[in-house]
Amino acid sequence: MSPLGAISFWYVVGFYPLFLLLLLYVWITLYDKGYKCVVLVTRPFHRCMARFWSMTGIEPSFTHSIASIYILCFTQIAATSFKILRFQFQYSDNQSFGNKSLLLFFFYDAKQPYFGASHVLASVFAILFLLFLIVLPTLYMLLYSFKWFHKLLDCLHLRKQLLISLGDVFTSPYKNGTNGTYDYRFFAGFHLLLRLLVFLLQFTYHHYLTHFLHCQQCSVA
């Protein structure tokens, strides 16, 4: 397996819990609609779990499950995406003109051109995952506590019940500004934003350092 394939395989680790959650959602939907085979298999477990929840006082919540699993998957998906997008500089000698040209290669495989062959497909998926599964949810949680953001959701017709429920779940551990206290609910997205900044620093530091060293060598030569 190539280095690109080995790194891309880590998406399986990141998406596996989300995939199980999706299967659970489909199964619950089929159970609620009364499909006989699903009801026949699920009903004994449903009764046992109902007794367990009543004994322990636990209130099952699908939105809490989504929030918990998303936090668990966040780091793995972001780290894998940044690894796929990581590049390195290489200088190749141009025999015809007697100068050096700057080329980009995949960081973990010096023979793989950046955005070349199979890498371009993996990079497109990595960018889409970063945009829709990492950046947009982070911004949503970061801005959720502001009233103008809710007005914006209304204008865009995006004020859906599931999104509101998820926003409440993610921000509930923080003070909501009642009783004269400061509203700290934006920290739900702020700590995820800090994680992204750490990945971004790791992503860019090596590239600029390598480019600087190559420039120094060329100037000396």
Q: For the chain, which residues make up each domain, given as ranges? A: 3-87+115-190
**Distance between CA atoms of residues 204 and 87, nearest Å:** 9
Residue type, 128: L
pLDDT at site 212: 54
Residue 211 CB: number of other CB atoms within 10 A?
A: 13
pLDDT at site 80: 94
DSSP code of residue 183: B
The beta strands (E) that lie in the chain are given as: 87-94, 99-106
pTM flag (> 0.75): yes
**Distance between CA atoms of residues 71 and 141, nearest Å:** 12
| Each residue's pLDDT expressed in tens, for the chain with a length of 221 residues | 788 899 999 999 999 998 988 898 888 888 888 888 888 888 887 778 777 767 776 666 778 888 889 988 998 999 999 999 988 877 665 554 455 667 788 888 888 888 887 889 999 999 999 999 999 999 999 998 888 888 888 888 877 788 888 888 888 888 777 777 788 888 889 989 998 888 888 777 665 555 555 555 544 44
